[in-house]
Amino acid sequence: MKQKLILLFSSFTVIFLLTSNANATSVVLSDMPAYKWYHGCGPTAAASIFGYYDLNGYDSLFDASGWDDVRETSNVQDEISSPAHNSKYDPQPDASGPAPPDTSIADFFHTSENQPYGWSYLSYADDAFIDYASYRGYDDWNAWNERFGTFTWDDFTKEIDNDRPMMFLIDTDADGGTDHFVPVFGYDDVAMKYACYTTWSEEEAISWRSFQDLRNSWGIGYATFVLPGVSDAVPEPATMISLGIGLIGLSWISRKNNA
């Protein structure tokens, strides 16, 4: 049977429906900026999500206006990782002097603090979203971390269907350990793949990766759920258990050439 391609547009989402006997469906959020790795994969991945929301109702998250300005301008770079943060921690830490004030995503993520350059702990990921949004004037955000297996494919697709990108902590080299944060903003319901940016280039195309556990290439260790405007949302009990497990999650950045 000949397949038909139908494009449906909304202000937040571009939905691609590939109609066939199986009713195959893929969904990709539009207005999702890609950023090149800047002083840590954690703040870089988080910045894509903040950039998306800056373009969709939360325009004080970055000192930018519109699609062109929310790209990786000097203002946006400073809000990913501030000059003061970079001077203190990257790439050779300066042990003298006080810690800089928290003004950038990297500050709230504690990237490179008491750890190697570019590393970010999972245990700070949810608070980084909440606290940076609060710093920028939005006190109604919530976020939490969940281990893969605790959150399911249905949980993930529900977030995308509700116009909410996520952040995954993944295992790029299938060695069983997490090593990279990525912004996630789409899915393929037939191939069971997630859409992400690798953070290696501002001009990169969407990267499609299989929705699977650690010890698989680009397997998922943990996800960070980000809910703006719903500060009273509470994770399910199973999620709370996973938060304790999630404290051991560590992301580090190595400059690999990923396909």
Q: Which residue has the higher pLDDT, 254 or 54?
A: 54
pLDDT digits (tens, 9 = 90+) for 144-167: 999 999 999 999 999 999 999 999
At 97, which helix (H) or strand (E)? none
Let me know if residue 178 belongs to a domain.
yes
Q: The CATH number of the domain where 8 resides is what?
A: 3.90.70
Domain of 30, in residue numbers = 4-92+100-251
DSSP 181: E
Q: What is the pLDDT of residue 232?
A: 65
Q: What is the pLDDT of residue 181?
A: 98
The number of folded domains in the chain is 1
Let me know if residue 85 belongs to a domain.
yes
Let me know if residue 258 belongs to a domain.
no
> Of the spans 12-26, 84-98, 238-252, which averages the highest pLDDT?
84-98
What value does the mean pLDDT take over residues 203-229? 96
Q: Where are the alpha helices (DSSP H) in the chain?
A: 41-54, 66-70, 74-80, 83-89, 105-109, 125-135, 153-161, 237-246
Class of residue 65 by CB neighbours under 10 A (exposed 0-12, middle 13-18, buried 19+): exposed
Residues 166, 184: contact at Cβ < 8 Å? yes
**Res. 23 pLDDT band, cuts 50 70 90:** low
Let me know if residue 107 belongs to a domain.
yes
Let me know if residue 173 belongs to a domain.
yes
pTM for the model stands at 0.82
Let me know if residue 17 belongs to a domain.
yes
Let me know if residue 256 belongs to a domain.
no
Query: What is the percent of the chain with per-residue pLDDT over 70, rounded to a whole number?
Result: 79
Residues 140, 114: contact at Cβ < 8 Å? no
pLDDT digits (tens, 9 = 90+) for 101-121: 999 999 999 999 988 899 999
The CA distance from 225 to 19, in Å, is 30
